[in-house]
Structure 1
Amino acid sequence: MSKWTVEAVAQIAQGTLIGNSDLEVQGCIIDSRQAQGGEMFFALPGEQVDGHDYIEAAWKNGAVLVVADEARFQRSGKTPRTPEGKALLLVKSVFIALQELAKAWRLELGVKVVGVTGSNGKTTTKDMIAAVLSRRFRVYRNKENHNNELGLPLTVLNAPLGTEILVLEMGMRGLGEIKALCDIAQPDIGVITNIGTTHLELLLTQERIAQAKWELIEALPMDGIAILNAEDLLSVEKAKNDPHSTLFYGLEGAFAQPHLAGVQLRPWGALGTSFDVCFHDEKTTANLPLPGKHNVLDALAALAVGTAFDVPLAEGCGGLGELELSKMRLEIRSGVFGTTLINDVYNANPVSMQASLQVLKERAGENKTVAILGEMYELGTSAESGHREVGRTLAELGVSVLISVGKLAEEIAQGARLAGYSEDQIEVTATREQAIIKARDLLAQFGPGTWVLIKGSRGMKMEEITMHLERLGI
């Protein structure tokens, strides 16, 4: 196997080629500034930025081939001059060409593919799976959460020669979307972390969410393996009528007996968790640099994938100990006035919010705790109840103070009140700026040793609160 030539790309994409057909290409970009040399630049039209305006820049920065919409140049009657040593491929749809090329490259690589989806923890699980499998294989994965109809094919096309396993996170907002991603990725193993209420606004019922997630399992070949959470009722119920081999992982085994189980969880280091892993007659200890049962469950999913690829359990646990996570997930940072910040602002839903609150209390011990919580999106008709459920958990855990951010997040405060939380423990703010002022005053009062959790949905941009609480002088 070797790099593709421009001519080979043109044949797969069924486009009109202008320029040198013998040039070799590998990798792809959609931002002309990211060119390093030898890539394909896909000139995707966007709502605010049109890639066709950056064709010359892409060539100048090192891209070899530009893939562009032929209709764009038919309308203008002009075709850009192709520099020497460069090529232009005109296609009916840049987006479709990207996906078709990703399908072809996945087959060209001859890799095994692990697909990962779920309502919570899929990005963390994807990172953990890569860490486990990297002990024995050359692994490539999505950057951050590049998990949609654009990000996934870009990930596949950027997988380098020699890749043995692709670990691909798959997101969805509706029925048919994971199926479309699977048409590109053709997964051999499917992991569903859980089936919760994220995207309820779009899919209306949890059963429809389950149906959408299950598209990953339905896409597996008959010898494929479904790796499922034994603590998740809908996953266990769906598995009963599915023909694929199933490997369950879990802690208590609430709804199915785990094939791979985690027991005896205990704190490890500043924010880590140590636990024992049991698989058949084998037992070993894992030291995970993350807190909380939810992260242990994700780690068990990763170890289960490892067993499917014959990675010894001890080696897989070693991989978890060297885990590199995507940014903005349970990051520990030094805050103002000697405080400790938990920056967990990547995204939020009721389950992940409650899990992070438990981590806050677990790690703070007897110290003061402050939860700065923003709105949670895409909960549909469960928006009010979901926010109130978080408030109820916060009150039951005994968090010292709640600072809510945004109109929807006022329901977190209301849920806490209904659970007996005192009014003088609640600060309701409408904006991040107001939350920063309240937090600054509060942390000055509480002083050193205080632990602070900052969390909210991605659109809330809660990282700006973290940034300001780090920047303030002591």
Structure 2
Amino acid sequence: MSKWTAATVAQISKGTLYGDSEIEVCGCILDSRQAQGGEMFFALPGERVDGHEFMDTAWKNGAALVIGEKGYFQQRTQKPYAPEGKALLLVDSGLEALQELARVWRLELGAKVVGVTGSNGKTTTKDMITAVLSQNFSVYRNKENHNNELGLPLTILNAPQGTEILVLEMGMRGLGEIKALCKIGKPDIGVITNIGTTHLELLLTQDRIAQAKWELIEALPAEGVAILNAEDETSVQKSSRDSHRALFYGADEGIIHPDIQGSRLTPKGALGTEFVVSFLEQKADAYLPLPGKHNVLDALAALAVGTVFNIPLADGCVGLRELEMSKMRLELRPGIYETTLINDVYNANPVSMQASLRILKERASGNKTLAILGEMYELGTSAVSGHREVGQTLARLGISALITVGNLAKDIAHGARLAGYPENQIFMTATREAAVRITRDLLAADGAGAWVLIKGSRGMKMEEITVQLERSEKRMD
């Protein structure tokens, strides 16, 4: 963001200002440790900690302005104050102030906004869109998982002056949440990767999930463009009843013929994929440093966004080749006993887990394969069937060994059994530590050259398993 003064921030958020009203601010943080100089620190109350307790730390670390809530001081004898050369702004709601400031800065910035959501692949797609658009534009995107009511406005406020396109991933857990994010971000283009079963626990039905995701398309202006998956039946059906211009992408013929199509998908190297992409009269050879058709679909979505901004396919493909992914997604790491680890632990649902299993089998090229699979959350009434589907896919692929982690993941093992998977290749564990012990024993006995997939929902912290199985010069295995 450009430099606002504390007085400007106070005027926008309708708060009460203490201290230096002319001090300039640039950017914002929610963690006092991240202050580098000149930021706004939002002292938000949380479930475990209260940001107000870190106001002094934020100022000391370099923050120029602390934004706190009036209620915090009303409950205490401490009077509001700000150190010399600093400022304190008190508002009714820190969250509402954060969101209102983001709305204003989004308009001042004047950038185009690409909103991205979907049941699978939205973070990967966001990264790919950024890579494609960065060939011709100055682009800013969410970092990590900053895709909610806090992270999205934080992203907007940290977008620097001169940003031409904002790429905003939008997460949701219920109806109305994407709509609320769109009121802040005001997207010009909406990308829906697919409409699956994630969040059934909260939304209960597939129709409600579709309704929640489609809030992104409904929020677009009349001239806005919807980028949709031609292989996703729900997206195709909803688009037929929507007035916005739609561009469809796909690697197969799909429900309808895609406008942007990928073909001749070919594995290349350890985790790469080559394919041919076509759009109208354009055709280009593409290389993606990621495996699997699902990642190619995300790449096609990114290239589709590029066409809206008149980026030639060939230029967009250069961006894909240079792709920088968010952490913990299909990372290839050297493992103990000369093994190869696929660290895919950012999150998991039945679709993404089955896709990762196919990648494991494909890239192992006949070597032994082990799958360490944790619980998948937010599946609601589909929790049992979703886990069992994964197990059945694992059995059909002929994965060499299955190690499950957690109580819900037992249904992965049960699904494998139902599909005829041998009992002596199944190992169920309750903890990450137990999974590591069993995996090490299996690899020590006959693991040279094996490929190991580690995957589970974010809350399972499966990356801790990866760390224990990585090859290290300090570790003698």
TM-score normalised by the chain length of structure 2: 0.98
2:404 maps to amino acid = S
Instruction: Give CA-to-partner distance per residue, 1:130-187, whole Å, 9 cap, x none.
Output: 0100111110000011100011011111111111100000000000000000000000
Offset at 1:434? 1.0
2:27 maps to amino acid = G
Q: Which moved more, 1:150-159 or 1:19-28?
A: 19-28
2:315 maps to amino acid = E
Offset at 1:94? 0.8
Offset at 1:447? 2.5
Provide the residue aligned with 1:416 in structure 2: 416
Cα distance in 2, alignment partners of residues 280 and 312 from structure 1? 11
Instruction: Give CA-to-partner distance per residue, 1:211-246, whole Å, 9 cap, x none.
Output: 000000000000000000001000000000000000
Instruction: Give CA-to-partner distance per residue, 1:49-83, whole Å, 9 cap, x none.
Output: 11111111111111111111112112324324312
Provide the residue aligned with 2:342 in structure 1: 342
Provide the residue aligned with 2:315 in structure 1: 315
Cα distance in 2, alignment partners of residues 230 and 37 from structure 1? 47
**Does the aligned pair in 2 maintain the 1:328–1:344 contact within 8 Å?**
yes
1:473 maps to amino acid = M
Cα distance in 1, alignment partners of residues 270 and 419 from structure 2? 31
1:262 maps to amino acid = G
Offset at 1:22? 1.5
The RMSD of aligned alpha carbons is: 1.0
Cα distance in 2, alignment partners of residues 66 and 433 from structure 1? 42
Cα distance in 2, alignment partners of residues 96 and 473 from structure 1? 53
2:389 maps to amino acid = E
Offset at 1:430? 1.4
Provide the residue aligned with 1:174 in structure 2: 174
Cα distance in 2, alignment partners of residues 297 and 38 from structure 1? 41
> Does 2:449 match 1:473?
no
Mapping of residues 17-416 of structure 1, within 5 Å = 17-416=17-416
**Does the aligned pair in 2 maintain the 1:43–1:52 contact within 8 Å?**
yes
Cα distance in 2, alignment partners of residues 181 and 46 from structure 1? 20
Structure 1 stretches of 4+ moved >6 Å? none
Provide the residue aligned with 2:5 in structure 1: 5
Instruction: Give CA-to-partner distance per residue, 1:72-101, whole Å, 9 cap, x none.
Output: 112324324312211111111111100100
* DSSP-derived class of the 2:78 partner: coil
**Does the aligned pair in 1 maintain the 2:116–2:168 contact within 8 Å?**
yes
* DSSP-derived class of the 2:102 partner: helix
Question: Structure 2: which 5+ residue stretches go unaligned?
Answer: none
Cα distance in 2, alignment partners of residues 76 and 429 from structure 1? 49
Cα distance in 1, alignment partners of residues 205 and 332 from structure 2? 36
Mapping of residues 457-468 of structure 1, within 5 Å = 457-468=457-468
* DSSP-derived class of the 2:246 partner: strand
Cα distance in 2, alignment partners of residues 243 and 142 from structure 1? 28
Offset at 1:191? 0.2
Instruction: Give CA-to-partner distance per residue, 1:391-442, whole Å, 9 cap, x none.
Output: 1100111111111111111111111111111111111111111111110000
* DSSP-derived class of the 1:95 partner: helix
**Does the aligned pair in 2 maintain the 1:370–1:451 contact within 8 Å?**
yes
Cα distance in 1, alignment partners of residues 73 and 147 from structure 2? 31
**Does the aligned pair in 2 maintain the 1:405–1:429 contact within 8 Å?**
yes
Cα distance in 2, alignment partners of residues 144 and 202 from structure 1? 23
Cα distance in 2, alignment partners of residues 213 and 42 from structure 1? 29
TM-score normalised by the chain length of structure 1: 0.99
* DSSP-derived class of the 1:76 partner: coil
**Does the aligned pair in 2 maintain the 1:336–1:473 contact within 8 Å?**
no
Aligned length: 474
* DSSP-derived class of the 1:191 partner: strand
**Does the aligned pair in 1 maintain the 2:405–2:432 contact within 8 Å?**
yes
Cα distance in 2, alignment partners of residues 342 and 58 from structure 1? 38
Question: Structure 1: which 5+ residue stretches go unaligned?
Answer: none
1:404 maps to amino acid = T
2:11 maps to amino acid = Q
Cα distance in 1, alignment partners of residues 53 and 372 from structure 2? 42
Identity among equivalent pairs (%): 73
* DSSP-derived class of the 2:75 partner: helix
Cα distance in 1, alignment partners of residues 350 and 76 from structure 2? 51
* DSSP-derived class of the 2:255 partner: coil
Cα distance in 2, alignment partners of residues 160 and 315 from structure 1? 24
**Does the aligned pair in 1 maintain the 2:148–2:172 contact within 8 Å?**
yes
Cα distance in 2, alignment partners of residues 184 and 81 from structure 1? 31
* DSSP-derived class of the 1:275 partner: strand
2:44 maps to amino acid = L
Cα distance in 2, alignment partners of residues 345 and 168 from structure 1? 22
Offset at 1:110? 0.5
2:401 maps to amino acid = V
Offset at 1:2? 4.5
1:286 maps to amino acid = A
Offset at 1:357? 0.3
2:184 maps to amino acid = I
1:220 maps to amino acid = L
Provide the residue aligned with 1:438 in structure 2: 438
